[in-house]
Structure formats: C-alpha cells, structure tokens
Amino acid sequence: MQTPLLHPHHFDCAIIGGGLAGLTLSIQLQKKGLNIVLFEKEEYPFHKVCGEYIAMESWNYLEECGLKLREMNLPQITKLHVSAPNGNMIKHSLNPGGFGISRYTLDNELAKIAKQIGVELLDDTKVIDVKFENELFHINTQNNVYTSKIVLGAYGKRSNLDIKLKRNFAQSSGKNTNYVGVKYHVKANLPDDLIELHNFSDGYCGISKVDGESYCLCYLTTADNLKKSGNDIKEMEQRILMKNPFLEKYFTEFPILFDAPLAISQINFSSKKSIENHIIMLGDAAGLITPLCGNEMSMALHASKILSELLPSYFENKLSRRELEKLYSKLWNKQFSTRLKTGRIIQSFFGNQWLTNIFISVLKPFPFLIKKIVELTHGKPF
Ligand SMILES: Cc1cc2nc3c(=O)[nH]c(=O)nc-3n(C[C@H](O)[C@H](O)[C@H](O)COP(=O)(O)OP(=O)(O)OC[C@H]3O[C@@H](n4cnc5c(N)ncnc54)[C@H](O)[C@@H]3O)c2cc1C
C-alpha cells in the first residue's frame, strides 16, 4: 500500500502531537505500510500534567502497539475513594479498574517503538501552520515545510494551532473554559491498588501509584482559584486545597519528588469539532472530558484505534476524503458523545463546594448509583 515518496519531505500521513493518541496511531499506521511523519514540540522523555491512571479498557490496545505492559510490574488499581471538601468519604470498588504509569515512561516507550518501526519521529519540532490546497497539506515547522495527503491533529488540549485554525472553542469564554492543572510525583504510604479523589472548593485532586516508587498527585482547579491566591500555587494549595483534611495531610506529610510543580493553564472543556479544515482531530484535540472521569487517555487511544482501521481504506481508494471525514465524525460521536456529556455534567456539579458535600453524602448509602456513574464514564475494551 505504501506510496512512493514524491520528495523527502512528503508523507502519506502527518501526525501533529506525540502524546498517546499521536504515538499509537503512528505505530499502527506505519505497521500497515503507510509513510508516517510525527511532529512533537517537546523532546522525549518529558513529564506531562496528567493523573496517570489509565482505565483497563486500554490495556489490550497498548500491548497491540508493542508495549510490554505485563513485564512492567505496574500497580493495578481496583479501589476508588472519593472525599467531599468536608472530608466525608465514599469508598467503592472499580471493576475492572485501571493501572498506573507515568507519562514520562509511557510516552517515551511508545516513542521508542515508533522510531524502531520506521516512523519519521521528529521531536523538538513544533508545527507552526498547516494549509490545505489542491488535496495536499503543507505543514510548516520552524525549519522545514512538509507535505502529506492526510493530517491528523493529535496536539492535545490546547495548542498554537487552535488559534491558527480559528477554532470556535478557542475563542469561547465563561464556565468550563479556564482551568488549571498541577502535578507532582510524591512518596506516599498509600495502598498500591487505590485511587483517591479529593474534592475542594472549585476543584479536585487525585492520588494513585505509578511505575517505580512514586505516586502521582495531580489536581484540576479554576484559574479563578489561582488568581484569588495571587497566582501563587503554594498559596492556593494552603488556602484552598488543604481545607480538605486528606489534602492537608498529604500536602504536609508526603515528600515531593519534583523541584517545582508542573502546571498547565487555559484548559477548556467546551465542545470541539472532530474535523477542522480537513484536519482529522483525535484525543484531547477532538474533545475533552473531565479528568474526574479518569478516562481521557482511553478516549484518546480508542480514537487512535478507530482511525488506524479507517485510514487504510482511504489509501486503498475505498473511501473518498469526504466519506472518510463523514464516517469518522459519525463513529467518534457514537463512541464518545455520551461520555462527554456525562463528564460535562459531573464537571459543573463538582465545581461547587456545598453541592459536592451534599452529593457525596446523598450518594454514600447508594453504591449502585456510584457504580452507574462510574460505568457511564468508562468504556469497553477495544
Ligand atoms: C489535571 C489532569 C489530570 C488528568 N488525569 C487523567 C487520568 O488520570 N487518566 C486519564 O485517562 N486522563 C487524564 N487526563 C487527561 C489526559 O492527560 C489526556 O486526555 C491525554 O493526555 C490526551 O492525549 P493526547 O494524545 O490527545 O494529548 P497529549 O498527551 O496532551 O499530547 C499532545 C502532544 O502534542 C504536542 N503538541 C502540541 N502542539 C504542538 C505543535 N504545534 N507541534 C508539535 N507538537 C505539539 C504536545 O507537546 C503534546 O506532547 C488528565 C488531564 C488533566 C489536565
């Protein structure tokens, strides 16, 4: 199926963004005989703001991509504890649950596999513009121009390209449009099989074990909370997060393994389009679900799987570009729209300290309701 290169910078598919969505798709498409270039603006290995809990539904696909998860001795997570800002706690089992692995390790291992099988993986290479003309994409980086028949946008929750493409969500303002994420690795004396989610006013913080001896401590909150604390992360943790008794203990007692907090801002949960100017979006670039649902990485991976099955038909001339775009949008909505809607409802609900306290105390005696909520936010293995 492989098409001859027109010139050294021409590829069948160009993938922008080397996170989970982009890396796994590059591996699958390269294995199917297509010429793939992948651009990642950072240099591997690197840390990323993420809770690092992956739902079990993704296990098989990651192994299919060549990751030997079984040999990595990863913590298997089967218990969930959720606390309200006042410390009231719900305990629930997770079946089948998930596993913990740092993005530093995971993305780096996938990048190594991609390179080994022949993906042209260009890290430390930021895409600055993409143009579509006469059925061909022109992709500009700092140093070169590349061409390709297909461009996949796997560049995550927020990128310079959203502004270039004038995407609607990037211009939206109001509720759900400006969140901040912060991550640390810490040493903790908590069970390996447990993920905890602790709510505080306008945010929540997760903690669970990853590979090695570290625990990932990661939270999401509003930009307003940070502003109220003079844009000082430590101040915000003391004034707002540590009102939750669990977080007070963890932030005081657990040794932090990073020199400084890893933080990202301008996280926007507004809905997005899965195709934009013929660029096919996947992962966070196509739509974001609240991390409270613990399942965004699986959505990114699942979209990668869908595309790895669809794109070869386009290159075999079984699907036109129009048909490909239509089919992908349909499949994407079918697979993810309910999860996204549920996620948005949960996200708006958990913003309010008073409502969260009530929500947790009302749910506590009804485990079947908790089970239902967990099910609505998770998918089946793919
Ligand atoms: C606070 C927080 C906690 C989370 N916790 C969890 C969790 O516990 N479990 C879970 O399943 N999900 C969680 N998520 C979500 C998860 O991190 C994302 O859904 C997942 O990383 C999406 O993968 P992706 O491949 O779409 O994007 P990413 O992994 O973000 O990858 C995108 C890549 O594109 C690169 N890039 C961007 N612009 C350009 C450009 N112009 N040129 C080249 N490269 C570019 C970036 O450097 C980045 O490496 C959390 C998110 C947040 C904010």
99 lines ligand 1 (CB under 6 A): no
Q: How many domains does the chain have?
A: 1
Q: How far apart are CA 216 and CA 196, in angstroms?
A: 11
- Each residue of 125-174: pLDDT tens digit? 999 999 999 999 999 999 999 999 999 999 999 899 999 999 988 887 76
Kindly state whether residue 251 falls inside one of the protein's structural domains: yes
Is the shortest distance between the CB of 39 and ligand 1 below 6 Å?
Answer: yes
- The SS3 call for residue 317 is coil
> For 50-90, what is each residue's pLDDT tens digit?
999 999 999 999 999 999 999 999 999 999 998 988 999 98
Assigned domain for 4 exists: no
Is 366 within a domain?
A: yes
In a domain, 220, yes or no: yes
Per-residue model confidence (pLDDT) at position 344: 72
pTM: 0.94
Task: Take residue 67 and report the two structure tokens written for it.
Answer: 């990751």
Closest CA to 267 of 104, 83, 46, 49: 49
Query: Which of 27, 24, 22, 6 has the alpha carbon at shortest distance from 138?
Result: 6
Mean pLDDT of 13-24: 98
The Cα 362–Cα 42 span in angstroms is 45
143 in the Ramachandran plot: left (φ > 0), alpha (ψ -120 to 50) or beta?
A: alpha
Rounded to 5°, angle at Cα 110 from 289 and 20: 10
In a domain, 3, yes or no: no
Cα angle 80, 86, 90 (rounded to 5 degrees) comes to 25
- Ligand 1 binding pocket includes 274 (Cβ within 6 Å): no
295 lines ligand 1 (CB under 6 A): yes
Q: What is the mean pLDDT of residues 230-242?
A: 97
CA distance 340 to 263: 24
Model pLDDT for residues 90-120, shown as the tens digit of each residue: 898 888 899 999 999 999 999 999 999 999 9
State the pLDDT at residue 232: 98
Residue 337 gets the label, from left (phi > 0), alpha (psi -120 to 50) or beta, of alpha
Asked, for residue 382, whether it belongs to a domain, the answer is no
In sequence order, what are the beta bridge partners of 71?
none
Looking up tokens 């993420």, which residue turns up? Answer: 50
Residue 5 lies in a domain: no
Q: How far apart are CA 245 and CA 241, in angstroms?
A: 9
User: Would you say residue 298 has pLDDT above 90?
Assistant: yes
pLDDT, position 378: 67
CATH of the domain at 60: 3.50.50.60
**What spacing in Å lies between the alpha carbon of 297 and ligand 1's midpoint?**
8
Instruction: Please work out whether the CB of residue 17 comes within 6 Å of at least one atom of ligand 1.
Output: yes
Q: Is 311 helix (H, G, I), strand (E, B) or coil?
A: helix
Q: Which atom of ligand 1 approaches the CA of 22 most closely?
A: 25
Residue 4 has pLDDT above 60, yes or no: no
- Domain holding 166, by residue range, is 10-377
In a domain, 100, yes or no: yes
